[in-house]
Structure 1
């Protein structure tokens, strides 16, 4: 025996009688903010007017004033609870339909006052449009109880037909609302998928361009630097060391390029777990620059008891790397000084070069695009730090970055 329908029916009954309310929907006048601001005061005035009309009708029907006030309150209360608590409003309505009946005159068309009858229709219509089918069935069944017991037999069929029509229309309205909501959600998912595909296509295009252009030239540089000592005759030892340093730098750049291409071609958006350089790798980078012919010195001091945070160390490494590249490009042959001073709350990185007498033999200088300084500034500001780059008074250039450990710089 399939117990699923029974369990569904009992669950619907439990929610109808004691369960949580239906989820709230958007305000009726949310599309019109100018009208929505007047909804609350206008609704309150309408409730007061309905209360007064009900009180007047009940008084005309011969009820004492205290009971007339109670019946008027029971008529208005469901309408006040309807916007946010529809099931509660319906429960109050059923209670009012069962209680506010014994004083109706014999010539009245129904057992309830016109405000209570019209208000009950509004409450039932709204509730049936906002609950699922198991709850809807129980709402219709329970609402039919006072209709079958209190309405005159001549009017009973019409009232039941109206209740059935409200149930059908309410179910259609609810299904239409759910369909539009699902359609909107599906449209949003499709847009996000299109955006993701566009990003992946752009990343793939960038990876392809990097592989076809940059990686190709770097491979040629590495091969030419490695084979130059064997192709040339009487190569001095210092020159051979410079060729080896150039080849090592090219191979390192190719390794970083392969890692970057893997990231660009991957659909994963999680954190990268590949090892990243930090302050401990600065001496090797400076030594490689020295072997390539750059007169560079490194000054690292420490006042910390604990290691520098990994994001700060990576940013410092990249800033020094870009600073050395800029010095080699724009001031070939000039002495370069790198200073890294970890303090108690921030890391100060300084790269400065002396003025150059002119381009070295075989070296050509090209105007840069400015992306190097922009990248260094973005690395510093992303950690809440500061960055400055300016020419020195006597010639040369200096870049200074201050990187706080906690990501909260002075400007935050």
Structure 2
């Protein structure tokens, strides 16, 4: 026989393979462990004292046997302090002892409870079967004058079954708690990984966005610089004009670069040749949503949408697009309100909100990755974005983005 073949014979100080996080796997007792152990000891001692009193009441029992019973019962109760480390061995020893020693009955029941809590079903079944076989032996060898043999046997069997059942219920509850904690920890880790992946994918789109915004200006700068290089004899006026174009293009390229750093969500694969959305194309987005059956109210208070910075306009467009998409998925039939306010020096505030759905519908699960990407976009652009349920049961997305004067 090896320890790998019978792992339940190992001390409880070693980890229980079926119950991760079992208290028995600790090397030091906690305050709760001390309280439980003291309570178990007192209960066993109380049952033992009651048995001693009953034995003393029987005048036919010699005093020397009463003294031996008391000492053996006290030793059995003290042995309970090792029940967390050796639950199986202690239960087997007390089962055999209780066959001839009624004072050890309390400690025996506590040991059976410990086995049911700290060990899987197989060893509990073996020890429980032995306990049921021993239950009629003690009243046969040392009968209680006030109770019949049949009644004593039935009471012993019921107590064994009750204690083992209670212990297995406690073990099942602990297993459930451990499982739920592991699932919660795993779900939290997976959510963190999904969020990191969404941020990584969003940042990968920066390169595409930079190409779309900066390619024209850098190409113009390169052409004029090349002209100066290959025409050193050009008239001063033409050289000055080309230098001015280079300076302006470089300045605008740097300004666009500052804005594009905050862009995380750009066009996906296959959209690189399509015109980039701006604040001026917000009306087309709303019209498209209306054609799809969504009730949309647009309140655009920007006097000149075309004057808004390109990157900021795209961000506003993406926020409105994501808000309309989420409203169509999670609140079909509800009217969506899109409000855009602000101007140079004040920044742009965009808000997309919808009330609670008025009709029952099949809930569409969402991953939340779109809102994560929008939050990252707004944050890196120097703005902020908030989203969440409204007091009336609806949902709202509100963002502020800078717009330099």
**What TM-score comes out, normalization by structure 1 length?**
0.41
**What TM-score comes out, normalization by structure 2 length?**
0.42
| Structure with greater contact order relative to length (CA < 8 Å, sep ≥ 6) | 2
